[in-house]
Amino acid sequence: MAKQKVRDTALTTLLKIEQDEAYSNLLINRAVEKNHFDSKDTAFFTRLVYGTVQRKNTLDFYLNSFLKKEPELWVRVLLRLAVYQMAFLDRVPDRAVLHESVEIAKRRGHKGISGLVNGVLRAIQRKGFPDPANVKDPVEKLAVETSHPKWLLDHWLSQYDQDTVHQICEANNTLPEVTVRTNKVKTTRDRLLNDLEGEGIEAEAGTLAPEAVKITKGVVQHTSCFKNGLLSIQDESSMLAAHALDLQEGMKVLDGCAAPGGKTTHIAQLMNNTGCVTALDLHKYKINLIEQQASRLGLTNIKASALDSRKAHESFQKGAFDRILVDAPCSGFGVIRRKPDIKWGKTAEDIRMLATVQTEILQALAHLLKPGGKLVYSTCTIESEENEKVVESFLKQNESFSWDTTLADRLPEKLERYMVSGEGQVQILPHQFGTDGFYIAVLRKEEVR
């Protein structure tokens, strides 16, 4: 009965993702809380939702050979959910999948629909899955095999070689690692590892950032280490943005697109809770998230305000800040592993529109940087149109800015080979270190002479 409820809830969640374009990670968290799933049911439910969204293209390829006409959306989604379990979950017996799927179809539909679901799934059992290797077009074949939209693969192939694109796609279909950032204002990484072990959490030192810890087993949000502000959950590649700023104690720093506050609080910690970090975001409720994080972490040097960063010049004087972080809104194609619905909800036009917004934010905030100061532009995408091209365009229009060639000094040596032309920028891809895909550029404003 428990597994039936999990599957039924998974179908409801998948339909919300499909119809409302809601974020899968938020819906999963809400559903787990609402239904009071235990740890095993939570793991199964999460796997069902993420896996079905992740493999949608492949699942539709399998199904289309067995469907004579297009069913209602909820039936299509129910069949995807069933086929995902049959194709990708070895420990789930087909008979259980078939029985539960037919029962859900009976409850939600009528005899004809349950008969359709039963017929399609039994036909797949008898005949097996169609082979994507038979698809002649190589890009379409990759789209089916790795379950990515073809337009996105064409887009990536214009930027990266075929082997790299294939590795990006494969990485996007793996489970993301959970990493946390040590709050060095309160503890050290070694002490945190010790404390986590004492609470039954298996963890190890991270790969890229000096305060990073990888969680290999256990739910870290339930620990006293989390509740007492000894750590924050953050991907390791995004931790490098604060390091790229070249911070010193007592500085005035602006985080122009701050919510939910991961990088804001990291900046505050790297300055040892001194100076002032001004955090801006469009929405008041997101400002509350930043303030809650700062409070949990024991940070008092953060001032958060609801403000469109493109209008920041109306509230702050020219040259008011020593450092500025522009962690720009982006397509998010570097975090598909964590949010698989992203790849189905975006278009090429979205990339072009975002590049315009990113340029506007960068131009608006640049005036607030002191001469001699440094500005970091970062995104969690792997799109050159949102990354290098935005920065290169900005540099052409702002002669007082140039690349900060000291960036490599603040990054791990292993990242040197991933520096993009011009030593002030680096592009991390999802398959390289098991982290999110992430872009960082550092610009320096020339001093007045």
Chain segment 83-104, per-residue pLDDT in tens = 999 999 998 999 999 999 999 9
Pairing of strands 276-281, 252-255: parallel
Which among 169, 225, 257, 380 is annotated as catalytic? 380
Whether the pLDDT of residue 2 is over 80: the answer is no
Average pLDDT score over the chain: 95
Give pLDDT tens digits for 380-415. Answer: 999 999 999 999 999 999 999 999 999 999 999 889
Give pLDDT tens digits for 174-225. Answer: 989 999 999 999 999 999 999 999 999 999 999 999 999 999 999 899 999 9
- Side chain identity at residue 308, one-letter code: D
Q: Whose structure tokens read 């796609």?
A: 169
pLDDT for 299: 98
Integer Cα distance of 323 and 263 in angstroms: 13
Integer Cα distance of 123 and 14 in angstroms: 24
Q: Where in 137-265 does DSSP place strands (E)? A: 178-182, 202-205, 212-217, 231-233, 252-255
Integer Cα distance of 139 and 150 in angstroms: 7
212-217: strand order across its sheet: 202-205, 212-217, 178-182, 231-233
Q: Whose structure tokens read 């040197």?
A: 416
Per-residue pLDDT band for 23 (boundaries 50, 70, 90) equals confident
**159-165 LR contacts (CB < 8 Å, sep 24+):** 159/382, 159/383, 159/384, 164/429
Across the range 313-324, mean pLDDT stands at 96
Confirm if 266 and 240 have CB atoms less than 8 A apart: no
Give pLDDT tens digits for 409-445. Answer: 999 988 988 888 767 999 999 999 999 999 999 999 9
The sign of the CA dihedral 82, 88, 89, 90 is positive
More confident residue, 21 or 351: 351
Tokens, residue 166:
């294939």
Confirm if 224 and 199 have CB atoms less than 8 A apart: yes
Integer Cα distance of 63 and 121 in angstroms: 9
Task: Tell which residue, 173, 131, 129, 130, has the closest CA to residue 148.
Answer: 173
Whether the pLDDT of residue 37 is over 60: the answer is yes
Residue 339, SS3 per DSSP: coil
Task: Tell which residue, 351, 331, 257, 418, has the closest CA to residue 441.
Answer: 418
Those residues whose C-beta lies under 8 Å from the C-beta of residue 232, and which sit 6 or more positions away, are 180, 181, 183, 262, 265, 266, 293, 297
Per-residue pLDDT band for 449 (boundaries 50, 70, 90) equals low
pLDDT for 418: 86
Per-residue pLDDT band for 47 (boundaries 50, 70, 90) equals very high
CA 84, chain centre distance (Å): 23
Integer Cα distance of 19 and 15 in angstroms: 6
Across the range 313-334, mean pLDDT stands at 96
Whether the pLDDT of residue 243 is over 70: the answer is yes
Integer Cα distance of 288 and 404 in angstroms: 33
CA dihedral 189, 191, 194, 200 (to 10 degrees): -80
Give pLDDT tens digits for 129-188. Answer: 999 999 999 999 999 999 999 999 999 999 999 999 999 999 999 989 999 999 999 999
Task: Tell which residue, 386, 336, 13, 331, has the closest CA to residue 146.
Answer: 336
- 330 tagged catalytic: no
Integer Cα distance of 333 and 133 in angstroms: 26
Across the range 273-299, mean pLDDT stands at 95
Rounded to 5 degrees, φ, ψ at 171 are -65, -35
Q: Whose structure tokens read 């597994």?
A: 3
Pairing of strands 252-255, 202-205: unpaired
